[in-house]
Amino acid sequence: MNRPIKVLYVFANERKKMEQEWLAGKMPDTYFIGLNHLKDFGIQAEYYENRLINSARQKSFNLANILLLFKIRKYDIIFSGSSLLIVFLAKNIFRFQKPKFVWYNTFFTNLIRRNNRGLKKWFVEKTINYLDAIICPSQAQKDFLIKQGFEKNKIFYIPTGVDVDFIQKQKNNLKPAEEKYILSVGKDMGRDYKTLIEAVKGLDIKVKIVALLRNFNKKDLGNLPPNVEFLGFMPFNKLVKLYLNAEFIVVSTKKENDLGASDCSGHYVLLDAMASGKAIIASNRSTISDYVTDGQEGILVKPENSEELRNVIEKLLNNPQLAEEMGKRALEKIKAGMTTKMFAEKLARVFKEMEA
């Protein structure tokens, strides 16, 4: 192909405001999933949104994707990770030969496990088979799809990238924290704050939680221990300061057999913490071992086990040097292979292979 490959990113949520904040230096580029770096590798990538599409998103991203259906034909590749409906309509109903679809897979494992019979199973499997390539942010997801019988040659493992430069630059004007604290962040439904709260009761350390009301039941939220502070939602330009001043980060998630969550619950928080140079305590999941080696960048614990979580929290509190060493290794690991530009370079190779 003589001209650049044209790629349209289809996001689940609005990106224009986020782009403006990124250009103003107020936000990292992490949530563009490599889009802004692809031009460096010969790929012409963009996203499209307007008032009508954004209004439709408020009701359903499926509806927003339907509005994009006839715009996608001028692109070579659609890159998305939101709704499979646009793929089914384009390939099965309208029989589009172009564009090709590349999927950023954050939920296929649990989607397939939830929909394992009848019409839903047929729809999910048929639509996934229509995809031209699948990008998995963990090797476990790739292995699962291959085991399910999907075509091996179109499934790729590419580690998620994080904007480490943005996070590290925030150190320049960082004011020291007024008190020591550990931090836990995340709003997806795979989070397990109940176990974390139980684990830290009575500890002589402040615990700050950045999440949404939906992540708690009313009873737990109304009976927080004195050392636990619920901060609600927080924009990233403020949140990053909490990362950088924390003693370490706890990513507490539910068991993997809880199928209501993303495959990769805790993924981005994990990366943000590592890019901040912080040690991680995380619930062990099959999708996490590509990022954290137990005992190196952090410590992995059994999900929903408050006793083990408490013991590990106390271990790092009593060994700040160990936490600092883990944090340094975490930052080095991110810089070596998990930046947004590195992700974009690997993604560009997939795009070029498809169009060769």
Which residue type does 189 have?
Answer: M
> Does one domain contain both 68 and 179?
no
> Does one domain contain both 141 and 236?
no
What would the DSSP string read from start to end of 140-195?
HHHHHHHHTT--GGGEEE----B-HHHHHHGGGGPPPPSS-EEEEE--STTB-HHH
Q: What is the mean pLDDT of residues 315-329?
A: 98
Rounded Cα distance between 323 and 277, Å, is: 10
Query: Any idea of the CA torsion for 224, 229, 231, 232, to the nearest 10 degrees?
Result: -20
pLDDT in tens, 189-238: 999 999 999 999 999 999 999 999 999 988 888 889 999 999 999 999 99
Local structure of 279: helix, strand or coil? coil
> Does one domain contain both 279 and 298?
yes
CATH code of the domain in which 111 resides: 3.40.50.2000
Q: What is the mean pLDDT of residues 29-58?
A: 95
> Does one domain contain both 280 and 261?
yes
pLDDT band at 59; cut points 50, 70, 90: confident
Rounded Cα distance between 220 and 163, Å, is: 34
Range of the domain at 114: 5-161+339-355
Q: What is the mean pLDDT of residues 164-193?
A: 95
> Does one domain contain both 106 and 193?
no
> Does one domain contain both 172 and 34?
no
Question: What's the confidence (pLDDT) of residue 285?
Answer: 93
> Does one domain contain both 332 and 277?
yes
Rounded Cα distance between 184 and 243, Å, is: 9
pLDDT band at 1; cut points 50, 70, 90: low
> Does one domain contain both 222 and 78?
no
Which residue type does 281 have?
Answer: I
pLDDT band at 70; cut points 50, 70, 90: confident
Rounded Cα distance between 208 and 30, Å, is: 23
Angle formed at CA 268 by CA 262 and CA 274, multiple of 5 degrees: 140
Instruction: Give the number of domains in the chain.
Output: 2
> Does one domain contain both 189 and 328?
yes
Residue 65 has pLDDT above 60, yes or no: yes
Q: Which residues are 301's β-sheet partners?
A: 283
The whole model's pTM is what? 0.95
Question: What's the confidence (pLDDT) of residue 75?
Answer: 97
> Does one domain contain both 211 and 322?
yes
**Is the four-CA dihedral 251, 256, 261, 262 of positive or negative sign?**
positive
Quick one: 163 exposed, middle or buried, by C-beta within 10 A (0-12, 13-18, 19+)? Answer: buried
List the single range of 156-170, 175-189, 257-271 with lowest mean pLDDT.
Answer: 257-271
> Does one domain contain both 134 and 248?
no
> Does one domain contain both 217 and 288?
yes
